[in-house]
Each structure stands twice: as structure tokens, then as C-alpha cells.
Amino acid sequence: MDDYTIELENVTAIYEGERIPALYGISLAVDRGVILGVIGPNGAGKTTLLEVMNGLLPVTAGTVRALGAAVSPRNHRLRQRIAYLPQDMFFDPPTPFLARDVVLMGRFARLGMFRLPGREDHRAVSVALAAVGAEELARRPIGRLSGGQQRKILLARVIARQPEILLLDEPMANLDPQAKLELSHLVLRIHRELRLTTVVVSHEPGPLLDAADRIITIVAGRIAVPEQPPIHVRM
Ligand SMILES: Nc1ncnc2c1ncn2[C@@H]1O[C@H](COP(=O)(O)OP(=O)(O)OP(=O)(O)O)[C@@H](O)[C@H]1O
Ligand SMILES: [Mg+2]
């Protein structure tokens, strides 16, 4: 069997307490280094797709593999190698962390919660903040930053964490046109420099979807217009 970076085989996922699957019989193989765009109407299952790829949601049937191993909620070691930026993730104004702390949390994901950050971690955080051009935001409370500024900080956290897979759910939503453009280029740069495999749910036309190696449409929990054989995304 080929070792794809992400591989879903006949995946069905049902949320607890629900009867209708949010995903139904999804088969999809994603090669290393590609960008896969995911579109589809509200409630189609796009977020659910990212959740099974990242092991947040267990599958009811089928298998999910990433980086050569089975993805499951309990496979923490594997999940550390997958960064997930949830849809509408914004920090409230009273959130008691500085932007820099949020980036530093990316290091905990990699190195374990109970380890004190060392000089290397602080250096990685500074490098990440510089990479997204957000050094001047470092000492500000995260909840007081604008939506676009918060997104930049979350991308700095991705850089500090050095994952192999990046899952983004509507990263450009609620940003102004300039910020959308800037963020798209930032994601593309991170994708290339970290040699990531990136799956992005987005409806925003622009450089990020333009750069996608493939765009799939999810409708009512299925991949619309499935092709034969199952979809395989190549660079
Ligand atoms: N936590 C949950 N519990 C139960 N059902 C859920 C849960 N989250 C999502 N669903 C259901 O699963 C289906 C897919 O939802 P999902 O959030 O994946 O859609 P989506 O394509 O991301 O939509 P949107 O574009 O609005 O973000 C929907 O029918 C939704 O009602
Ligand atoms: Mg969603």
C-alpha cells in the first residue's frame, strides 16, 4: 500500500447522539506537500472532515491514516504532528495570555505540557513571530488583537510547532480584503517553507485556492461528483 500523507478509506462519521452521518463513505488520499482545497455549502461536513483528519472526532466506520499511522483521538503523538486551526477561533478580550504565550503554546504541543520552556523554545517563538511580521504584537494580550492579527499569531504558533500537516478551517473569514490577501500569502509561505501538506476549507477566491493542487466539494457528507478511482491528490 502506498503511504499517503493523509488517507481516508470509506470513512463514515456520526456525531454523538445523532443518527444521520455527518460524513458518509469518504475515500480520499492526499500526497505529501500538496494543498487540498475543500468547498461546499453550510452544514455539508467540511469541518467534520478536518476533525476526522485530525483525530478530534472518531470515525464510525472506515479508516483514517496520516503520516503512516492510524489517526485516532488517543494517538496523541501523531496528532502533535498535525496542526488544526478551527473555524471562528477567536480569543475574547479578557483572555489572560499575551500573544507571545499563545505562540509558545505551540511548543508545548510538541514537547509536552509539563516541561518548562527553555531558551530554544523562546528562540523558536521569536523566529515564528518574526516570520509572520508580528513582533510588535508579542507583548499585547491576545484578546485585544484584531481578528487578522489573531490569525497571524495563530500562524506563528503553527510555525513554532513545526507540524507536518496543516488543517485550516475558513482561515480568511471575517478579515478585510487586504488581510485576506496577506494571510493567503502567509499560509502559502508557511506551506512551502515547512514543506507541509495543507488542507484548507475556504470559499475565498484568491491566491490560496489558486495554489491548491485540487479542490473537492463536499455536499451532504459526501464528495460531490466522485471520480473513479477514488480521489488522489498529487502535486
Ligand atoms: N458537534 C456536533 N454535534 C452534532 N452534529 C453536528 C456537530 N457538528 C456538526 N454537526 C452536524 O454535522 C453536519 C456537518 O457539519 P459541519 O460543521 O462539518 O459542516 P460545514 O460544512 O463545516 O458547515 P459550515 O460551512 O457552516 O462551517 C451538519 O449537519 C451539522 O449539523
Ligand atoms: Mg464548518
> CATH code at 73?
3.40.50.300
Q: Could you give the 3-state DSSP secondary structure of residue 132?
A: coil
The protein residue with its alpha carbon nearest to ligand 1, atom 16, reads 45
Q: Which percentage of the chain shows pLDDT scores above 70?
A: 94
Q: Is residue 50 part of a domain?
A: yes
Beta strands of 31-105 (E only): which ranges? 35-39, 61-66, 69-70, 82-85
Spacing, Cα 72 to ligand 2 middle (Å): 20
pLDDT of the residue at 38 = 97
Q: Per the domain annotation, does 104 fall within a domain? A: no
Look-up of cell digits 499585547: 140
- CA nearest neighbour of 175 among 134, 137, 146: 146
Among protein residues, the one with the nearest Cα to ligand 1's atom 30 is: 43
Number of structural domains (the chain) is: 1
- d(CA 222, CA 128) in angstroms, rounded, equals 37
Q: Tell me if 162 is assigned to some domain.
A: no
Q: Which ligand is nearest to the CA of 48?
A: 1
pLDDT at 116 over 90: no
Is 132 a residue whose pLDDT tops 50?
A: yes
Does the structure show a pLDDT above 50 at 128?
Answer: yes
Contact 183, 132 (CB under 8 A): no
Q: Provide residues with CB under 6 Å of ligand 1.
A: 15, 18, 22, 40, 42-48, 87
Identify the pLDDT of residue 1: 47
What's the whole-number mean pLDDT along residues 87-115? 86
pLDDT tens-digit profile of 162-207?
999 999 999 999 889 999 999 999 999 999 999 999 999 998 989 9
- CA 44 / ligand 1 centre spacing (Å): 7
- Domain extent, residue 29, equals 1-78+200-235
Q: Nine-digit cell at 215? A: 479542490
